[in-house]
Structure 1
Amino acid sequence: MFNLAWFSTFLLLAEEAANKPNAPEPPNLLMWMFPFLAIMILFQFMFSPQKKEQKRVEQLKSSLKKNDSIVTAGGILGTIVQVHTERDEATVKVDENTRLRMKLGSIYAAGSATDSDKKSDTESK
């Protein structure tokens, strides 16, 4: 009934386990948190340029005024004739008889009309 071979094997394994050095300690909290911290830092670097661009666009939209030269996201060059902040749009003069209504969000860059006139004068010379 009682098998002596099984019992001696069990005692031998128990003795080996008792003689082994302690198991290695689990990694500390910093080692567990490192991947999460690395991901958080990565996301910060990924999204901070987007936040800066959003601030730039909001500042540009709030500073638009009549006679500003603009460039739209589609590459259209023009001069602002009217700004309707309540509707979030502007009327832009593209040519002598051509005016476009466009959303303020589609305006990519702006400058005063006198600056662009000076640049075009120096380029044509």
Structure 2
Amino acid sequence: MFISPAYAQDAAGAGGMVMQLAPLILIFVVFYFLLIRPQQKKMKDHRKMLGELKRNDKIVTSGGIVGRIASVKEGSEEIEVEIAPNVKVQIVRGTIASVIRPEAANDTTPVKA
């Protein structure tokens, strides 16, 4: 009537090992597709945006300062940004959060004066 412990462990065998690892593998796959992969794509897009910066682009820094690029030095991490008329500051390229692109208005009707 009693099953010896050695026989009970042997019955679980390889099938039990796979069933124990399945939840861990599933969790890793979910984390990869929901967290890791989107973050890598976002970082790639940000690096591309930083590489395409040019003069007169309107930018927002990670500190919230809005300005216009006055000069970009190739090979340098510093960019000169004009934040007000005749006020220029040097910022590090990596602190730029986004580039503001002008968008066309959806309304095509002329404004009546």
With normalisation by structure 1, the TM-score equals 0.66
1:70·1:111 contact (CA, 8 Å) conserved in 2? yes
Aligned to 1:37: 25
Stretches of 4+ aligned residues off by more than 6 angstroms? none
* Higher-helix-fraction structure: 1
Aligned to 2:60: 71
84-93 vs 68-77, which deviates more? 84-93
| Whole-angstrom distance in 1 between the partners of 2:45 and 2:24 | 30
**Gap runs ≥5 in structure 2:** 106-113
Q: How many residues align?
A: 98
Tell me the C-alpha RMSD between the 2 structures: 2.5
1:57·1:105 contact (CA, 8 Å) conserved in 2? no
| Whole-angstrom distance in 2 between the partners of 1:85 and 1:35 | 49
Q: Answer with 1 or 2: which has the greater Rg.
A: 1
**Gap runs ≥5 in structure 1:** 1-15, 120-125
| Whole-angstrom distance in 1 between the partners of 2:54 and 2:18 | 53
How far off is 1:46 after superposition? 2.0
How far off is 1:96 after superposition? 0.8
Q: 2:86 aligns with which of 91, 97, 122?
A: 97
| Whole-angstrom distance in 1 between the partners of 2:83 and 2:27 | 47
| Whole-angstrom distance in 2 between the partners of 1:87 and 1:61 | 12
Amino acid aligned to 1:81: A
2:60·2:100 contact (CA, 8 Å) conserved in 1? no
With normalisation by structure 2, the TM-score equals 0.72
| Whole-angstrom distance in 2 between the partners of 1:107 and 1:85 | 16
